[in-house]
Structures are given as structure tokens and as C-alpha cells.
Structure 1
Amino acid sequence: MKLLKKILVGLLIAVVLFVFIGLVFINSLTPTYSGEQELTDLTADVSVYFDAYGIPHIYGETEEDALRALGYVHAQDRLWQMELLRRIAKGRLSAVFGADLVETDMFMLTLGIDEHTNKTMSHLDMDSKTVQLAQAYLDGINAFVDKGPTPVEFYLTGLDKTPFQLEDVYNTIGYMAFSFAMGHKTDPLLTELRNKLGDGYIQDLAITSDTSSTWIKNYKLPSRDSVSASVTAQVTQLLEKLPVPQFVGSNSWVLAPEKTKNGKVILANDPHIGFAQPSVWYEAHVTAKNYEKYGYHIAGIPFPLLGHDRNLAYGLTMFQNDDINFYFEEYHPSDSTKYKTAAGYASFEIVTKTIKVKDGEDVEFQFKKTKNGPLLNGVSKQLYSERPIAVSWVYTQLDNQVMDALYGMTHATNMEEFKKALPKIHAPGLNIMYGDAEGNVAWWATAKLFEMPDSLSTKFILNGAVANEQPLNYLDFSENPSAVNPPWQYVYSANNQPDSVNGKLVPGYYLPENRAKRIVSLLEGKDKWDKSEAAKMILDVTSSVNPSLVAEMIRLVDIKELSPEQTKQMDLLKNWDGSYQLNSTAATLYHRAEYRVVKNIFEDEMGEGLFQDFLKTHLFKRQIAHIAKKDHSPWWDNINTPDVKEDKASIATVSFKEAWESLVEDFGPNPDEWTWDKVHTVEHEHPIGQVESLRTYFNVGPFPIHGSREVINNLSFGYDDTGFYKVTVGPSTRRIIDFSDIENSISILPTGQSGNPLSKHYKDQALLYVNGEFRKMMMNKEEIIRESTDILLFAPK
């Protein structure tokens, strides 16, 4: 007995010791929010006050000092996110996640972001203020890499921490630029549909914007061929494997003093980005001599893409202009090393790359480049075409001055200084939204736009062997769409079509008018806005379009084929106001029916594969209202039933009945049980959360959530046969900047400020976000010092 007792006591001591060591180890991995740290090259102490949600308020003597501290605290909360973002352009994800990411790495290397970065680095002015501040920020990151605790993801993946370099900043910007682009999802799809079905079907697709829909108004006056496998599918599949979110859409509006209660500008902005954990933005309030900015940072980029101070505020939405073209190339008939051009045959440039693969052999591959760009053929094992296809992307074809633009925007003190920075943004295309304390409001569409020959559509794959399908010239920034202090006293953007400039529309992949129409109706219908009313508007969940689509469907449904209960629900649906509250049953029935309508219209002609590709494009979103207006179209008939000719009414009737049956199967026959909260949910997924046993530790959610796709509170999802709507895209932040009370402007993040799962700020905003609540963006130093419980002091080393 004594021996057994000794053994049990020994085991207990061992277990306690193991748990103690484990807790000490885990605690050592958490971010440091208080105490003192030494940093090399500081000229004086830097104080960092963390507010209740972990937002750092950084006070330094010089801007370089403040950015060193920013780099350190940003890294301790987001080093894993920084690591993944810098790896994408250089094709280094396979080294972390294994062979499953090899084709994605091949695709990203083929795009040439890393080569373009190398070219940019070769002629950078290393003495410029842009570079000096970026390097100070990187110095702070590397100080954490050198002596800070290693985030748990590095242990789980076996990855070593390595220093960050200036090229990593530019590579991250390059990925961001490609993430905005939609041409890779649309052009090959439309080409394949045209070749498969002919022009009769193509002319009934919403390829160009409807002139009767809501467009963004300009105001220039000063004052205040045959593809044998789906390129679209393969490119989309490769990008879906990326362990970081992609940029999708956004809302923003800026109200002039005449539209507000307090006679000061109000700016609202909520960029729509793929949900992930950690969330995209890192908030930081940075103050130094002659500089202050409350900004939202992408991991690894020193200057905020969204920001404000006491003088001005700016936000962004995606422009959605067409900056990617695809070209069919033509091989020499007897020499596969050459391709045809308008001036004769030219030799392909051959590029060789090597990809490191975790737990596997290195993968070496080659790709060819033409004057139009790299060939996609051979990049993916499944990506096959009978003809070579080259991709031409504005980002890699022009000099990269985006960092200089961000520096200029963040250091501007007035509207004219701010505007001077914008022509340096060649890609991605952005709608820059602006307001200031002087009462100015403005919108500028920023991108290097090009002019194509008349009547040539860039929405299809072009012919690379001829001269008349090439861009004619690049336009001057003055020809970009914009509005500065317009007489209607507000500017807005919802990724919709901007009005023409000099009689010409900018081609793009714009989203439908749904959000824009609702925004305009609310702004036009009211003056005297304040911060609380703007916050209510940014959470608006009412569709401006869907009730009219319901009315059209109900008009067509054959009531004689419906049961009494179905007829009753049809009447309730008829009175639906388009609102997406959690207890709505009409919203659930509408989306089940809409998906069945779309599937019954398009899948028979497209086939299952192309139909799935179609559902992932902005073209699909524009198509819903577009096709509903057409009483006659070849799409209405089901080609798989040659003995029956379906029409609009029969499609509406069968789709409603199918939707009803699916809801009965999922939730039972009582329609009161078909509430929106049961089908519309959000989960913020961490790359390591894909391992089921680790999901609860790394993922945040799931939560039922109000809102829907293409309402102002745009919580978007993909359609499939399940009839459940897992939100994948939504507001990456909601910000309201009120110049009548700048120190009480408000914001929220989807999960939390920190990307470290062991941090108390990993998910402390998640429920606030789901419930539509906000928190203050503090700028008053006395209040910040008074309210901060965590203070980190950086001293010169």
C-alpha cells in the first residue's frame, strides 16, 4: 500500500507539474500589453496605451519611433497573418500547408507579383520618406520576430520565424490588388458560354449595366473561342484554397454639412471582405510630432488603408473596373517556342520556378510569357485549353507607386494634398471616399484606366495575335469618374456602375443596384443626419429590389396548383417588405425560391460545372433582376424536356413548389419554423480551424446573424442545393466618423483586434458585431490615459 501511495503521489506531482509547465508555456505565448520593452534605434521613449478592446494608442517623439512601436505591437497580435500574406505572391504556402497548395502557389507565381516587386525594388528611392517609415515599421516587426514569443500557429505547423523585408510589403499589396479583380471569374466563363450556346443566349445576360438602374453620378465642377475545360472553375478553385480572405465589395457615403444636424461632415464606410480569423483590419492610433492618424492596417503594410484625424477622413470601396484581360495566343505551326503577334512570330519567354513543399519534394515548373502576359496553360493540372490563354493585368504592367500613394493620403492635411496622391494608385481599382472638417465631401475612382477599340468587349477572351484588340492608350486621372462637393450634398459608392465620363462608361464587373438604390433612397429622403442615424443606416437589412422580384414571381405562379397553406404563405410573401430580421420566414422562403428559379433557368443550358462557376460571379447577381424583366428568352425553356416548352410562368410555379418541399423536409410543415436565423449563420474560420479537433479553439462562431446579400448590411453567401446560407463575406469593419464630435466616432470589428488565440482580444468584439453594436474610436489623450489599464513602454536600446 505504501508503494502504491508513493506511486500515486508521484503521478499527482507529475501531473500538477505538467499542467503548471503547460500553463506557463501557454502564458508565454500571449501578447504583452503592459510593462517595458527595449527597441533599437528609438530616439526617445514611446508610450502605447491599450484601450479596453486592445486598440493601441501610440505616442512617439518622431513618426519613425511611433512606427517602430506600431510594427512591434502589430506583429505580436498578427504575426501569423503577416506571415501568410507575404507568402502568397512568392508561392510559399505549400511550405506551410503541404501539397494541396502547390497549384495555388503555381498560379500566384505565374501572375508575376513577385517579379513585379523585384522590378519595383530595383529602382526605389531608399532615402524617400515612404521607404524610411516603412523600414521603421519593419524594424518593429523584426524586433518582435527576434525576441517576442512565438505564436502558437508556428509551433503547430513547424514553421520558423524569419525577418520581414521591404519586398514583403510590396508583395502583400500585390496580393491585395489581385484579390479585388473579378475578370478572372467572368471573362473565360462568358467566352465558354458564347461558344457553347451562341449569341442568342449571351444577349440576354446582364453583361453591361442597365441604363435604368442606379448609377453613381459624376460631378466635375470645382468647388466645394473554344475552351475545352472551364478556366473560371479552375482559377476559382485555386483561389478558394488561399488561407486568407479576398476583397469583394463595400459601402460608403459621405454627407455634406447641409445634410447633417450639426452642420459637419459625416463619413460612413464598411468594406466587404471575406470573413476569416483573424479579421482583416488592425486598428491603431498613431501620434507623433506633426502627425496623428487613427487607421486600419493590413497585416504587413505600414500605412492605413482607412483612416481619419481631426482634419480629414477617408474610406474605400472596390471600384470593380476591368483591369484584367485574357488573350488567346496562337502557336507557330512548326515551332512551339514561338507565338503569333500582329508583327510576326515572337519567342515565348520561359520562366522557371521552384516551390518548397512541406513533407514533400520540391516542385519545379515552367510557364511561358507573351507580350500580353503569362500563359495559364499548364499552371493547374486541370486547367486545360485547346488554345494557349495569356492573362494581361494592369498591376504588373505599370510602375508600382501604391505605397507612395498611401503615404501621401495618410500625410495630407487638406483635400488638395489628399487628391494629389491618388493618381499613383494604378491597381487595384478603388473608390476613395473623402470628407473633412472644412465641409468638403468627395469621391474619386482611382485606377489606371485604359481605352479599348470601339465595339470591342473585354468581357470575353480576346485575340492576342491581332493589333486591333490591344489597349489604345491609358487615360489621364482627370478622366476617371469622380464627384467633388456635388450640389446634391453627398457622395456614395456601393460597387455599382459609375456614370459616363466624356460620353464613355468605364467597363467593369459592377454589382447590381440593390444596395445603391437603397442608399440613395435613404439619403435623398432625409436631411439632418446625425451619427446615431448613420449607424442605424449602416445596419439596414431591407432589400430595395427583392420585394419587386417577389411580386413578379407571385404574378406568374399558377395559384390553382398550390395547396391552401401554400396560397396563404404566398399572400404573406406578397406583403414582405424585404427585411432580413432573424425571425423572418419570408426571407427564408424567398431565397429558397430564388435559388430554384435561377437553377431551373440556367443549369440545363450551362451544365452543372458552368452553372456553379456562374453562381460565383458578380454577373450572376446582376442577372437575377435582369432576367426577371424578360417575358421571352431562350433561357426559360428547359432543353432537357424537348417535348415541353417551359416559359416564365411554369418556371416560377415549379420553383416555388420545389422551395416549399425543401423547407418542409428541413424544418417540418409549419412555416412559422422557417425562420432566417436557422439558415443564415456566420463562422469566422482560422486556417488551422479546418482541423476539426482544433475548430473550437481557433474559429469564432457560428452565430445566427441578420442581414443578407446585397442589402446595406451585406452579409453574403453562396447558393447551393443545401438551402443553408453560411455567410462568407461581410463588413470587415463598420465606421462612422462625425466631424461634429470627432473624439466620439464609432467603429466595430467582426471578431477582435488580436489574431493570437490566447489573447483576451481574440474575439471580444464578436457578439457586439453580430448584435449590431459599436465602440468608440478614442482620440482624446487624457481619456485614453484614464481609460487604459494596459500600458506598454518602449525605451531606446
Structure 2
Amino acid sequence: MAGLFRWLLRLFTAAVILAFLAGVTIYYLASRSLPEYEATHSVARISAPVEIVRDNANVPHIFGETDADVFFGLGFAHAQDRLWQMTMLRRTAQGRLSEIFGTRTLAIDELVRRLDLYGQSQSSVDVQDPYTAAALRAYSDGVNAWIARVNADARGRGAPEFFLFPPEVALWQPADSIAIIKVMGLRLSTHLETEVLRARLSLLIGAERVGDLMPDAPGPGLTALPDYAALAPGILPSAAPLERMAEGPLSPFAPRAFASASNVFAAAPNRSAAGGTLLASDPHLGFTAPSIWYLARLELASGGVIGGTIPGLPVILGGRSANLGWGMTTAYLDDQDVFLEQINPDNPEEYRTPDGFKPFETRRSIIRVADAEPVTITMRWTENGPVLPGGHYGLGSITPPGHVTALGWTLLNGADTSLSAAMSLMRSRDIDEALEAGRFYIAPAQNLVVADQKTIALQTVGAMPRRLAEHQSQGRLPVPGWREENRWQGWLNYAANPRFRAPESGILGNTNNKLLDRPFPLHVSFDWGDTQRIERWKTLMTRRSVHTRESFIEAQLDTVSFTAQSLLPLIARDLWFTGEPAPAGSPERRRQRALELLAAWNGEMNEHLPEPLIYAAWLRNLQNRLIRDELGPLADEFIHVEPLFIERVFRDIDGAAIWCDIRQSGTVETCTEIARLALDEALLWLAETYGGSLESLRWGAAHQAWHDHPVLGEVPFLKWFVNIRQPTSGGDNTLNRGLTRGRDPEPFASIHGAGYRGVYDFADPDSSVFVISTGQSGHPLSRHYDDLGELWRRGEYIPMSLDPALARAAAVGVTRLIPAPE
């Protein structure tokens, strides 16, 4: 027995030693790719020395003799910190994820290939202005210079992820940067899926009730929806959930429920306490680790510029120079249409047009798949756009027999000058130049808010399709593509895009809300991203006669829900302080206590309070009870509370209270009964999930921000090192927005919000501040992987200074790039 014990002890000791050595080896190999910021590199293709000064937040301040050299330095810095992220964005745009991830990303690659994003990006390289073309070449050279250093110096393949996947990294090309803009467009566009969902609802519950669940934004009335059954005869209603083939953490195709949302607002000098313009910007995207945003400062011939970049793009997308600040929100411009294309019954290679049947434009593409045979797909185009298979976005469920669907979209353009427009905006000296730069921006459509030293303006930038007034659905439903009245007639002139300059109020802004009321076809959109946050924003802007940097920060971080303040009095109006006294511990007493807490609550979605969690659980269950019996599984498409729908139901607008009646029951239920049942169900769920008393609940326990690594975030053990989780305040409808996951088992996890925040004060420009949601580095072993994340969670910022001395004073390192001898 003693001998056995000794052998077991030896084996255990050996296993521990081997595990320790393996851990040391893995750490050594992974740490090899950590860049040394205090270093000098000899590189080709720069005209003079370049300095990359990294301040104590690891924000690179890049100085060079020429603008081309500065863009070279930005490419070098991006590659040092985010090489894996950049290559993943490129693979996504090329439809080449399956080469390393196998069949699980095949549907993503297939759909991207059918859209031909990368082919259009390659074509667009030749239409950029000379300055942008030179910047693209220099930026690519900078990325490739770091790749060369990685290979020459055995720097751990450039990122730890390359040890788990094929390590080959192709050289960066100018088309790769343009392609990343198109990938971002995929994340920001929702009209395709909205059209399909509206058509499904029209078939299932009738066009008259679609306006309850998907109402037009408040404002003057719009024409009624046509009956989709009349547009697409032969389609049968279905309650099956929408089928989305291109899903998963690697997919750039964001579901409608997670469309982009952002805030940007500005004050003119007469509304600023210090007499200078103010601007605050926080674009919202899905959270990832690292963040999609990367902070940088460029010293260009036109002056210094600092703000948020996306690795892979040689441009400050939101930030400030000495004279101009700018920010953007998604415009929700209706830039997509779904067309029903009739196939020639005598020749399946042809489709119907106004001039008769014509052949599809056809091309084959081979998708290489790891550990599987290559897949060859046949891509087809009509005059209206690429043909999409029925399995994507549920298109098959709304396509009549003998038809296919094609997508019209302004993003699908081989002469896209959007990057040139962004580069011109970055170098603009005043609002006039900034607004003129927007003329060349095509997609994805944005609301651009700019502030110079004197005034402020908002301009919608992006191509607006020219539709005929006779369009059958006004762009809200799929329509026959062979009918001339449904086809696009090119694009509207830039002058048709909404513009607001120097408003009398001295304040302007946008939260993805409805901008203006114009009749179709100059309407911009029927679907907008916000009807709620804008109300809270208006309150905060009007309660002060003048604003400061601090008041703009306060508004940016505000967590009071106008939605909660307006809906709770409606749904609980017959429940407040009612019922007989109930014994402690009974469901009735728990309901009464919940109502007592909510009655005294001001709507603040604070992470330390129980009321936000009670409210969120109640509203979620309430909406599900209202729609589940009518929609069946299709109710799963509405994973977030639709405030306008709830209001319509409880105010009985146009008979919407009919949703409260359960169709399958023999009695007629009232809205009060449904509200009470939903609250009881929510309280039961809270007790089973969190336990304890209602007072012990905390919103932050449920509303944790999930900054997950898109690739390693689901890998056991590794996920504990690469994912960042933080309890946070805010919610679906607060200015400090943390859009919830909406699905069990953790429906209130925050997965979408402001990855970048910036506040710019032109009374004292160097007092401007910004922050991102994780850290600058994409390397999990770097101290800069998550160091800004805690500041972001607490609502803190770092300075946004263009003073070179300040950057150098607290630099964590200076990288010097020296021209290599010829």
C-alpha cells in the first residue's frame, strides 16, 4: 500500500509539473505577440521618421512629415494592437470565415458572397479621391510593415488566436478597408428584415392590426398598409419563427432587434455657459472584447484630429480637431427594398422585367470549408439586385411559388465614395466644408451632427433611393420587381437629405428618432429607431438655459427611463394600492409590495435598485401574454418591449385593447386582468431565479454588460480570460443605453450599447474627453485589454487633448519608425 501511495504521489507531482510547464509554455508563446511600445523599427515606404507616442491609456498619437506617413503609422498601430480583429473583419467581408471555422459559418459566407461585398469594395478603390487613395496605400503599407516584423522577429504570430487557427495572414490591401465599411453596413441595416416581418404579420393577423405591433412613429398619419396577400398571391400565413441561417457571434448580420442606436447632440454658443459650442456623441453597437472602437490621434497637415477609429480604417470616424467636432447616429433611412422576381415558367434562367423576360446575371463562387469539401454556390443578380435564398431572413415564407427575392440596397455599389467623404470630413475646417463632404457619402446612411467654433448643424448623409409616388407598398413590404412603379429610379439629389443648421433653440440632436414629416417618397423612412430616448433627451436639454461639458456628460450617462415613467401609470392604474390585506409570504402580498416599490420609483434604471428588474420582468411577461396567442412562435421576434404597442393597447387606440382578450378562452379578458397575471408571473420568475425578498433584488445582477470575445468567448476555460462582464445601469430605452439580450436564460444581459463616448467643448477644446468600453489592446494578456472598461462602467472619461507635450509627458512608450535604407 505504501508503494502504491508513493507511485500515486509521483504521478500527481509529475502531472502538476507538466501542467505548470505547459502553462508557462503557453504563456510564453502568447506573450510573444505583446508589442513593445518603446521600440525603433526600420521600415520601408515612409518618407521620413514617424513617431507613435502612446499615452498612459495606450492611445497612439501619431506624428509624421507627411499625411501618408501618418496613415502608415496608424496602420502600424492598429496592427500592433488589433491584428486578429482586423483579419476577422476582412475574412467576414470576403466570405472566408469557413476556411478556419468550418461549416458553422458556411451560411454567413454564402450570404456575404451573394451580396458581393468584397467585389464591390475592390471596384470602389478606383473611384476614391487622390488623397484617400494615397491614404489607403500608406495605411496598408503600415499594416504590412507590422506583419513583416511579426514574421521576422517571431512575435508569436501577431496575436494569441493565431496559435489556435491557421497562422497565415495575407497582406493588407486598400480594398480591405473599404470592405470593412460594408461589413459595418450589414450591422446597421434593418429594413430588409422589417419588410419580411411586416409581411408575415399582415398574412397572420391582417394589415389593420400590424399597425398596433409595428406602428409608425408618432406624427401625422400615413397611408394604410396594403394587404400583402394581394401583392403576393398564393402565400399562406405561417406562425413559424423567422429562419435566419447566418446567425452566431461571428455573423455581421444583426437581427432587427439589435439594430444600431446612438445619441449625438450639440449646443450653440448662446446655449453654452462658457460661450463655445458643445457636442456629445456615443454610437451604439454590439459589445465585444475588444471593442470595435479604437482611440487614436493623427497629426495631419490640416491639423491634429483625435477620436474613435475602427481598426482596418484609416480615418477618425467620430471625434474632433481644433476647429470641428462631429458624431453620427444611424439614420434609419429606408435604403433597402425586397423585390419579388417572377421566374420564367419556360426557362428557369430568366426572370420577368417590365420589358419581358431577361436572363439572370450569373456567377459561380467556391467557398472553402475547414475539414469539409468545398461548396460551390451559384450567385444570381437581377436588375433590382442580388437574389437571396429563401432560408435567409425568412424570405422563403413570403415568396410565392415560381418567384425568388432580390435585394435593392444602396450599400451594394461598386463606385462607393463613402470613405473619401469620411476622410474629407475629418479634414474639414468648418461646418460648410463638413456638410459638403457628406455629398459623397453613400452608405450606410447616417445622421451627421457637427459643431465648429461658431455654430452647429445636423445633416443626413447617405444615398436616398428615388421611388415613384405610385410604389405599391411605399417601401414597407416586398413588391413585384417587374412593375415599373416599384423600381428605383436612381437616387435623390443630396439637397433632398434632411438638414438642420443653426436652430433658433441653439440645441439639436438625434437618438435615432424621427427627424421630420414629409410625404412619401421624400419621407426618408417609415421605421425609426427610437421614440423613447428622445423624450428624456428633450427634458434634459430644456431644463437648463445653458449647458456645460458636465451637463452633456450627465445627459450622456442618464439612466432614467421615460418608457417606465409613461407606461407604469397606464398598466398599473387599476392595480395601485388595491386588494385586501394579504399575509406575509403570499403571492398577493408579494404583488402588493412590488406595486408599492414601483409606485415610489422615478424610473431610474440604476444597477443597485430592485425596481428596474421588477419593471423589466413585468413588461416582458406582459407583452408576451398580449401577443403569444395571436402570433404563436412568431412572437419570439419581439424580444424587447415595444412601448408604442403597449401604449396603444392600454389606451385602446383604434381598438387595440382587443390584444388583451385571449382568443382561445371562453371569456373576454380585460387589460387589467392581463397586467395582474403578467405581474404575478414575473414575480414568480424572479423568486425562482434570484430568490430572497423583492428589496434584495439588484438590476445590475441581471443587467451585466457582456463584452465577449467573438471567437474564444464560448471556449471553456479560455472564456474566463477573454470575456469581460460588468454590472451596469441603464436599459433598453435610456440615454445611457444597455440593450438587453431578450432571450432566456439571461434575458436582461446587456449586449449592445455605447462602445465609444466623447464630449467635446470648444470653449476649451483640450478639456474634451472620451472613452471606449474595453481597452485599446486586443491581446488578453495586455494590461490595456480592459483597463478603460472600468472607467466606462463608472461613467468616467480620459482627456482628449491635442497637446503633444501632454501625450509625451505620460507616455507608456514611443515607437519610432525609421525609413529603411534603399
TM-score, normalising length from structure 1?
A: 0.92
Secondary structure of the residue aligned to 2:801 is coil
Report if aligned partners of 1:186, 1:232 keep a CA contact under 8 Å in 2: no
Alpha-carbon distance change, 141 to 378 in structure 1, aligned in 2, over 3 angstroms: same
1:154 and 2:156 correspond:
no
Counterpart among 372, 377, 389 of residue 405 in structure 2: 389
Aligned position for 1:548? 566
Task: State the one-letter code of the partner of 2:463.
Answer: K
1:748 and 2:750 correspond:
no
Aligned position for 2:451? 435
Counterpart among 496, 507, 531 of residue 490 in structure 1: 507
Deviation at 1:249, TM superposition (A): 0.8
Alpha-carbon distance change, 657 to 464 in structure 1, aligned in 2, over 3 angstroms: same
- What is the CA–CA distance in structure 2 between the aligned matches of 1:18 and 1:113, rounded to whole Å? 42
Aligned position for 2:543? 525
Deviation at 1:251, TM superposition (A): 0.3
1:445 and 2:445 correspond:
no
Counterpart among 694, 697, 708 of residue 718 in structure 2: 694
Aligned position for 1:185? 193
Correspondence 1:585-600 to 2 at 5 A: 585-600=610-625
Task: State the one-letter code of the partner of 1:185.
Answer: E
Correspondence 1:5-84 to 2 at 5 A: 24-84=28-88
Deviation at 1:584, TM superposition (A): 1.7
Report if aligned partners of 2:778, 2:785 keep a CA contact under 8 Å in 1: yes
What do residues 511-562 of structure 1 show as CA deviations (whole Å, max 9, x unaligned)? 2321111111111111232112221221100012322200001114494497
Alpha-carbon distance change, 366 to 516 in structure 1, aligned in 2, over 3 angstroms: same
Secondary structure of the residue aligned to 1:329 is strand
Deviation at 1:571, TM superposition (A): 2.9
Secondary structure of the residue aligned to 1:192 is helix
Task: State the one-letter code of the partner of 1:699.
Answer: N
Report if aligned partners of 1:86, 1:171 keep a CA contact under 8 Å in 2: yes
1:338 and 2:362 correspond:
no
Alpha-carbon distance change, 22 to 578 in structure 1, aligned in 2, over 3 angstroms: closer
Q: Which moved more, 1:400-409 or 1:497-506?
A: 497-506
Alpha-carbon distance change, 98 to 721 in structure 1, aligned in 2, over 3 angstroms: closer
Counterpart among 465, 469, 478 of residue 495 in structure 2: 478
How many residues end up aligned between the 2 structures? 777
Report if aligned partners of 2:196, 2:395 keep a CA contact under 8 Å in 1: no
Counterpart among 137, 162, 173 of residue 165 in structure 1: 173
Report if aligned partners of 1:189, 1:232 keep a CA contact under 8 Å in 2: no
Counterpart among 597, 605, 609 of residue 580 in structure 1: 605
Alpha-carbon distance change, 338 to 18 in structure 1, aligned in 2, over 3 angstroms: closer
Deviation at 1:236, TM superposition (A): 7.4
- What is the CA–CA distance in structure 1 between the aligned matches of 2:208 and 2:16, rounded to whole Å? 78
Aligned position for 1:218? none
Report if aligned partners of 1:582, 1:706 keep a CA contact under 8 Å in 2: yes
Unmatched tracts of structure 1, length 5 or more: 214-224
Aligned position for 2:689? 666
Deviation at 1:200, TM superposition (A): 3.0
Task: State the one-letter code of the partner of 2:96.
Answer: R
Alpha-carbon distance change, 626 to 747 in structure 1, aligned in 2, over 3 angstroms: farther
Aligned position for 2:523? 505
Task: State the one-letter code of the partner of 1:393.
Answer: W
Alpha-carbon distance change, 490 to 227 in structure 1, aligned in 2, over 3 angstroms: farther
Q: What root-mean-square deviation, in Å, do the aligned CA atoms of Structure 1 and Structure 2 show? A: 2.9
Deviation at 1:353, TM superposition (A): 1.3
Aligned position for 1:365? 377
Aligned position for 1:233? 242
Counterpart among 193, 199, 205 of residue 207 in structure 2: 199
What do residues 734-757 of structure 1 show as CA deviations (whole Å, max 9, x unaligned)? 111111221121111111011121
- What is the CA–CA distance in structure 2 between the aligned matches of 1:500 and 1:482, rounded to whole Å? 13
- What is the CA–CA distance in structure 2 between the aligned matches of 1:547 and 1:645, rounded to whole Å? 29
Counterpart among 120, 138, 141 of residue 139 in structure 1: 141
Q: Which moved more, 1:453-462 or 1:726-735?
A: 453-462
Counterpart among 225, 248, 252 of residue 264 in structure 2: 252
Secondary structure of the residue aligned to 2:686 is helix
Q: Which moved more, 1:336-345 or 1:16-25?
A: 16-25
Aligned position for 2:482? 465
Deviation at 1:493, TM superposition (A): 0.5
Secondary structure of the residue aligned to 2:58 is coil
Report if aligned partners of 2:465, 2:490 keep a CA contact under 8 Å in 1: yes
1:771 and 2:794 correspond:
yes
- What is the CA–CA distance in structure 2 between the aligned matches of 1:296 and 1:716, rounded to whole Å? 21
- What is the CA–CA distance in structure 1 between the aligned matches of 2:18 and 2:683, rounded to whole Å? 60
- What is the CA–CA distance in structure 1 between the aligned matches of 2:664 and 2:15, rounded to whole Å? 73
What do residues 104-156 of structure 1 show as CA deviations (whole Å, max 9, x unaligned)? 111111122123223324x436x811101111011000011122232111111
Task: State the one-letter code of the partner of 1:124.
Answer: V
Unmatched tracts of structure 2, length 5 or more: 1-6, 222-231, 581-586
Alpha-carbon distance change, 370 to 243 in structure 1, aligned in 2, over 3 angstroms: closer
Aligned position for 1:217? none
Deviation at 1:28, TM superposition (A): 1.8
Deviation at 1:789, TM superposition (A): 3.3
Counterpart among 635, 638, 651 of residue 614 in structure 1: 638
Report if aligned partners of 1:602, 1:635 keep a CA contact under 8 Å in 2: no
- What is the CA–CA distance in structure 1 between the aligned matches of 2:18 and 2:196, rounded to whole Å? 63
What do residues 565-599 of structure 1 show as CA deviations (whole Å, max 9, x unaligned)? 42233133123211011222221111111011110
Task: State the one-letter code of the partner of 1:605.
Answer: E
Alpha-carbon distance change, 612 to 502 in structure 1, aligned in 2, over 3 angstroms: closer
Q: Which moved more, 1:13-22 or 1:446-455?
A: 13-22
Report if aligned partners of 1:557, 1:650 keep a CA contact under 8 Å in 2: no
Alpha-carbon distance change, 481 to 162 in structure 1, aligned in 2, over 3 angstroms: same
Report if aligned partners of 1:51, 1:790 keep a CA contact under 8 Å in 2: yes
Alpha-carbon distance change, 567 to 132 in structure 1, aligned in 2, over 3 angstroms: same
Aligned position for 1:90? 94
Correspondence 1:372-383 to 2 at 5 A: 372-377=384-389
- What is the CA–CA distance in structure 2 between the aligned matches of 1:299 and 1:232, rounded to whole Å? 36
Alpha-carbon distance change, 748 to 236 in structure 1, aligned in 2, over 3 angstroms: farther
Would you identify which runs of 4 or more consecutive aligned residues in structure 1 move more than 6 Å? 6-20, 227-232, 243-247
Aligned position for 1:114? 118
Deviation at 1:626, TM superposition (A): 4.0
Deviation at 1:368, TM superposition (A): 2.5
TM-score, normalising length from structure 2?
A: 0.89
Deviation at 1:720, TM superposition (A): 3.3
Aligned position for 1:682? 705
- What is the CA–CA distance in structure 2 between the aligned matches of 1:447 and 1:494, rounded to whole Å? 17
Alpha-carbon distance change, 227 to 67 in structure 1, aligned in 2, over 3 angstroms: farther
Task: State the one-letter code of the partner of 1:319.
Answer: A
Report if aligned partners of 2:560, 2:604 keep a CA contact under 8 Å in 1: yes
Deviation at 1:395, TM superposition (A): 1.5
Counterpart among 741, 753, 757 of residue 730 in structure 1: 753
Task: State the one-letter code of the partner of 1:445.
Answer: T
Alpha-carbon distance change, 571 to 231 in structure 1, aligned in 2, over 3 angstroms: closer
Report if aligned partners of 1:342, 1:465 keep a CA contact under 8 Å in 2: yes
Report if aligned partners of 2:46, 2:69 keep a CA contact under 8 Å in 1: yes
Deviation at 1:640, TM superposition (A): 4.7
Secondary structure of the residue aligned to 2:342 is coil
Secondary structure of the residue aligned to 1:188 is helix
Identity percentage over the alignment?
25
Deviation at 1:633, TM superposition (A): 2.2
